[in-house]
Amino acid sequence: MSNIAVVGTDTGIGKTVVTAGLVGRLRNEGVDAVGVKPCQTGHPPDDDAGFVREACDDEAAGVCGRYLGPALAPEVAADEADEELSYDEVRDFCATELDAAEVGVLEGIGGLRVPLAEGREVVDLVADLGVPAVVVSRSGLGTLNHTALTVEALERRDVPVRGIVLNEYEGASVAERTNPAVLEEMTGHEVATLPPSDLSDPAAAVDLAADLPRYVDIA
């Protein structure tokens, strides 16, 4: 079985919904899957690992390495809060949790170039941990550029891309309806779509994931 990272083109893009859905689906299949959040900013109220635990109705389903109050990039949030944030500690926490789980689902923080700690970025963490990635993107106008650049950044760091998920897909515009096929042609990767979800109901994320491709091999 393989671990995987869920990364995004931006913040608020739907990474947590996809993470919770994948973890929940695996746990329902009897796999000891765990969502791993390296660092949570804007806490409280933001708590992505807590969302995963609630979605799975299991306190063991999600873990977070560090909580910071300011709703900023982790490195900036730590500076604003006058706290130390070590990249090695963040990386080692994630590596330990991924190794301990039957399947670990690493959830990114914002986009790939978000400053994480000590001059390192989210893309450095994903590459250093050696996990393949799923890219979560918006469905509408503008996503072609953002998604293609994100895929390119991962591949430049030798991070395998398992697929792309366009979140909150409704097909309401020409851009939305054509984006999946265009992105598959641009990137060479399979594109899946997720409909809008109710973030006040974490359990709904698990149901949404039923239609996603199997990004994690559990054979």
**Per-residue confidence (pLDDT) for residue 214, from 0 to 100:** 87
**Per-residue confidence (pLDDT) for residue 216, from 0 to 100:** 83
Bridge partner residues of 143 (DSSP) = none
Q: What is the pTM of this model?
A: 0.96
Output the CA–CA distances (angstroms, integers) from residue 68 to 73, 75, 78, in the order listed: 10, 10, 7
**Per-residue confidence (pLDDT) for residue 36, from 0 to 100:** 98
- Predicted confidence pLDDT, tens digits, the chain (219 residues): 789 999 999 999 999 999 999 999 999 999 999 999 999 999 999 999 999 999 999 999 999 999 999 999 999 999 999 999 999 999 999 999 999 999 999 999 999 999 999 999 999 999 999 999 999 999 999 999 999 999 999 999 999 999 999 999 999 999 999 999 999 999 999 999 999 988 888 999 899 888 899 898 764
Q: CATH: 3.40.50.1100, 3.50.50.60, 1.10.10.10, 3.40.50.300. Which one for 4-211?
A: 3.40.50.300
Map residue 90 onto helix, strand or coil.
helix
15 catalytic? Reply is no
Catalytic residue, chosen from 15, 25, 27, 37, is: 37
Question: Read out DSSP for 168-191?
Answer: S----SHHHHHHHHHHHHHHSS-E
9 and 114 Cβ atoms separated by less than 8 Å: no
Structure tokens at 49: 């690992």
Residue found by looking up tokens 């992105």 in the block: 183
**Per-residue confidence (pLDDT) for residue 26, from 0 to 100:** 94
Output the CA–CA distances (angstroms, integers) from residue 117 to 48, 55, 77, 82, 138, in the order listed: 19, 29, 10, 13, 26
DSSP state letter for 106: E
**Per-residue confidence (pLDDT) for residue 219, from 0 to 100:** 47
Domain range annotation of the chain: 4-211
